[in-house]
Structures are given as structure tokens and as C-alpha cells.
């Protein structure tokens, strides 16, 4: 079977890119013909190693990442031009490679791909919660022309997704959110590594992992840590991630007098080593697609604290068993949960042991067997 994965690029270190590389490597090692088709990779190195058997094809540096830098109506013109170029070049590649199945993400490329009029089956997988994909802003003036256009776009986009052969979602909550699409299913993200249990370090380090974007809620984390930092002066928070808010967050850390206990580090390929070096992980996200970092950290035998945000944390963490769930967006509750985890070493270690066992269901063999079953079902449909 020949499967083509379509994504804009694998230039940055992140959870989506890590999962994508793991999936393609796993499948090619089991005899599948795997193509990796990108629009923006050009001559950049891959952020994660790919098997030599994975055949990479770049569509010529269409640069979809730059589409939103310009203001309207130039942005609208650029998007239309991108869609035309992307569609024409992709159809040429598909004609040559003849994949049985195309797999793409729920970005705006999906609405182009589902309208290609090709023989290949199309799977759209979502790495983001539905509310993160849609453009309509409920906090914005609902009667503004821009927000009305966003609403029209959302309606059109959701209608287009119905044309795919299968929409794959990561969580039960997101599955429910997409209830108007019948041809959907749930397959969680796999963890690329499930190490043997590692002894506790007593490092007094708390780890946070994720891109430095508003959705990750690092501003909330800083405010929560401010509440209890003086009580735990031997402890520190290590954030690993890149993004547009680095300078703003560093300024906030300095303004709160926390520069000696909160440190922002670049994303790293050795993230599992950082999990193991830490005592527990805090996820302060306002919204998540799956929260892969929770499962990865728990695989290392470390408990987590996370907001009860949509979607994912409450499906990975069992509250007060293998981690703690805080009230969504509640600074005081997050501070109290961190304080409790620091003060209860014995319980923290017991939670870590249970966390290691709980995420065994996300091991790559288990998850990829679900994908292989889906590929076989779709490929055989109608034959």
C-alpha cells in the first residue's frame, strides 16, 4: 500500500512534527510505501530524523507560512494564489506517485485536498481542538464584517471536511464537537518512547513543554508560580519551547521578580531526558488538541498537573490518581495544585508510578495498529 502524508514542513521541533515522523518511520519499516509531501520545506533540514525509505517531495517552496503576514485584501489574494499553486503542483505529484491514501492535517490545505477529484482515499487528521481550527472569534465584535466573514469561512470549511473519507480526531471531547461529520473516528497520538521506569531525581525541577503561544497559557503559569514561589525557593520551572511570545514572557517573569526560578529554554530533541530530570510537569494550556506532552512525561514515570481545558487532559490524567486536574484558567487553583505536589513527595512518587502504567495504551505499536486497520478498511472500501 502507498500512503502520502501532506504537511507544510518539518522544520521546527514540536509535538506534531515528532508524531508525524514517528508514524512515517513506523509504516515504512513495515513495508508500506511512504511519501512525505511538503509545501514549505525547501532545503531546510528535518527537525526529526526520517527513514531513508520515506520519499520526500517538496512542492517548490510555496511558503504557506507567510500567507497571514499581510493585511486584507492582499492576504486574501495571496491565499487564492497559494491554493491554485498548491492544487496544481499536488495533482502533478499524485499523478506520478499514485498513492492509495492521502493523509493531511486540518489546516486550510484540507479544503483544497478534498476537492482534488482523485482516486486516492483522503484521511484528514486533526491535531488541534475544533475551537482552535475555526476562525470565528467569540470575544470579538460579533457584528463586524471581519467576524461575519470568519463565520462564513467556518461554515464552508466544516462543509468541505465532510467530503473526506475519514476524519480522525484525538479525543472523545473533540469527537463530540464534530458531531455533524458522520465519517469520523478517534485515534490518539502515539508516544514515540516508552522508557523503562526511571528512578526519581529529587531535582526540584518542574517542567513545562510547548510552543510559546497564547494558547499554552504561560502567562497564567507565571502568575500561579508567583503565588507560591517564596515558599519553594529551592524549586524552579523550566519551560522548553519556541515562539512569538518569548520576549513578552521573559519580561513578565522579570516584572514579577521570578527570573531566578523560571527559565525559558529552546525546544530540544532530547525532551525525554528533560522529563526524566524533572519531578513533575505542569500544563497551563487554555486549549489543547491532545496534550501529547502529558502522555510523554507520564511514560517517564512523572505525574502531571493540567487545567481541565478542552480537549485531552482529563482523558489522559485520572485526577488524584496519576496526576492532578486544576479548574480551567483558575490561577489560585493551579498554584494550590503545584504547592500540593511539591509538598507531598511520597504521593508524588506514587502518582508517577501509576502514570507510567496508565499511558501504556499510547505506545506506538498499539496506536499504529489502529491506523493500519483504518488504512485497510478505507483502502478496501468499495472494492
- pLDDT bracket for residue 192 (50, 70, 90): confident
Asked whether the beta carbons of 235 and 261 are under 8 A apart, the reply is yes
**3-class DSSP assignment, residue 86:** helix
Q: Which residues of 95-121 are buried (b: 16+ CB within 10 A; e: fewer)?
A: eeeebbbbbbbbbbbbbbbbeeeeebb
- φ/ψ of residue 224, rounded to 5: -65, -45
Q: Rounded to an integer, what distance in angstroms lies between the CA atom of residue 264 and that of residue 171?
A: 29
| Chain segment 213-239, per-residue pLDDT in tens | 999 999 999 999 999 999 999 999 999
**3-class DSSP assignment, residue 15:** helix
Residue 198 predicted with pLDDT over 90:
no
**Side-chain-facing half-sphere of 98: CA atoms under 13 Å:** 2
Asked whether the beta carbons of 331 and 351 are under 8 A apart, the reply is no
pLDDT: which is higher, 86 or 61: 86
Asked whether the beta carbons of 334 and 221 are under 8 A apart, the reply is yes
Q: Rounded to an integer, what distance in angstroms lies between the CA atom of residue 31 and that of residue 209?
A: 34
- φ/ψ of residue 40, rounded to 5: -125, 10
Residue 65 predicted with pLDDT over 70:
no
The answer to which of 134-143, 198-207, 283-292, 311-320 has the lowest mean pLDDT is 134-143
Q: How far is C-alpha 316 from the geometric centre of its chain's CA atoms?
A: 14
Residue 273 predicted with pLDDT over 80:
yes
Helix (H) / strand (E) element for 54: namely: none
Q: Rounded to an integer, what distance in angstroms lies between the CA atom of residue 373 and that of residue 56?
A: 24
Q: Rounded to an integer, what distance in angstroms lies between the CA atom of residue 356 and that of residue 191?
A: 12
Mean pLDDT over the full length of the chain: 91
- All cell numbers assigned to 244: 512569538
Residue 141 predicted with pLDDT over 80:
no
**Side-chain-facing half-sphere of 218: CA atoms under 13 Å:** 28
| Chain segment 108-122, per-residue pLDDT in tens | 789 889 999 899 999
Residue 176 predicted with pLDDT over 80:
yes
Taking the model in full, what pTM does it have? Answer: 0.90
| Chain segment 362-373, per-residue pLDDT in tens | 999 999 999 999
Output the pLDDT for position 260. 96
Residue 382 predicted with pLDDT over 80:
no
Q: What's the sign of the alpha-carbon dihedral 364, 306, 321, 232?
A: positive
Residue 352 predicted with pLDDT over 60:
yes
Residue 355 predicted with pLDDT over 80:
yes
- pLDDT bracket for residue 201 (50, 70, 90): confident
Q: Rounded to an integer, what distance in angstroms lies between the CA atom of residue 29 and that of residue 369?
A: 13
Domains of the chain: 2-190+363-380 (3.40.50.2000), 205-361 (3.40.50.2000)
Residue with cell 495498529: 369
Residue 318 predicted with pLDDT over 80:
yes
Task: Read off the pLDDT of each residue in 137-160 and give the average, rounded to a whole number.
Answer: 76
| Chain segment 15-64, per-residue pLDDT in tens | 899 999 999 999 999 999 999 999 889 889 999 999 999 999 999 866 66
Amino acid at each position: 500500500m502507498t500512503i502520502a502524508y501532506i504537511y507544510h514542513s518539518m522544520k521546527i521541533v514540536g509535538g506534531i512534527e515528532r508524531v508525524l515522523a514517528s508514524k512515517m518511520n513506523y509504516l515504512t519499516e513495515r513495508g508500506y510505501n511512504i511519501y512525505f509531501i511538503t509545501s514549505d520545506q525547501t532545503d531546510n533540514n528535518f527537525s526529526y530524523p526520517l527513514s531513508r525509505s520515506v520519499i520526500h517531495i517538496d512542492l517548490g517552496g510555496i511558503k504557506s507560512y507567510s500567507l497571514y503576514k499581510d493585511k486584507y485584501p492582499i492576504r486574501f489574494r495571496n491565499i487564492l494564489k497559494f491554493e491554485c499553486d498548491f492544487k496544481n503542483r499536488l495533482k502533478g505529484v499524485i499523478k506520478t506517485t499514485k498513492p492509495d491514501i492521502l493523509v493531511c492535517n486540518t489546516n486550510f490545505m484540507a479544503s483544497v485536498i478534498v476537492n482534488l477529484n482523485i482516486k486516492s482515499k483522503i484521511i484528514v487528521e486533526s491535531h488541534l481542538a475544533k475551537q482552535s481550527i475555526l476562525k470565528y472569534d467569540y470575544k470579538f465584535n460579533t457584528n463586524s464584517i471581519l467576524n461575519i466573514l470568519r463565520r462564513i469561512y467556518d461554515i464552508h470549511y466544516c462543509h468541505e471536511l465532510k467530503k473526506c473519507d475519514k476524519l480522525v480526531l484525538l479525543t472523545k471531547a473533540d469527537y463530540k464537537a464534530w458531531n455533524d461529520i458522520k465519517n469520523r473516528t478517534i485515534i490518539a497520538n502515539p508516544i514515540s518512547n516508552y522508557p523503562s521506569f526511571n528512578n526519581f531525581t529529587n531535582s526540584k525541577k518542574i517542567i513545562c513543554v510547548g510552543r510559546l503561544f497564547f494558547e499554552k497559557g504561560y502567562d497564567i503559569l507565571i502568575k500561579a508560580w508567583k503565588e507560591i514561589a517564596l515558599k519553594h525557593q529551592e524549586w524552579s520551572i523550566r519551560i522548553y519551547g519556541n515562539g512569538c511570545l518569548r520576549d513578552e514572557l521573559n519580561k513578565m517573569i522579570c516584572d514579577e521578580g521570578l527570573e531566578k526560578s523560571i527559565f525559558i529554554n529552546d525546544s530540544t530533541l532530547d525532551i525525554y531526558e528533560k522529563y526524566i530530570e524533572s519531578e513533575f510537569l505542569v500544563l497551563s494550556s487554555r486549549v489543547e488538541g491532545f496534550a501529547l506532552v502529558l502522555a510523554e512525561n507520564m511514560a517517564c514515570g512523572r505525574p502531571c498537573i493540567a487545567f481541565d481545558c478542552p480537549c485531552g487532559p482529563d482523558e489522559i490524567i485520572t485526577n488524584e490518581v496519576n496526576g492532578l486536574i486544576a479548574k480551567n484558567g483558575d490561577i489560585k487553583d493551579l498554584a494550590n495544585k503545584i504547592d500540593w505536589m511539591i509538598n507531598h513527595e511520597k504521593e508524588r512518587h506514587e502518582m508517577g508510578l501509576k502514570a507510567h502504567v496508565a499511558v501504556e495504551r499510547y505506545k506506538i505499536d498499539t496506536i499504529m495498529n489502529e491506523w493500519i486497520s483504518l488504512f485497510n478498511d478505507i483502502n478496501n472500501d468499495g472494492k
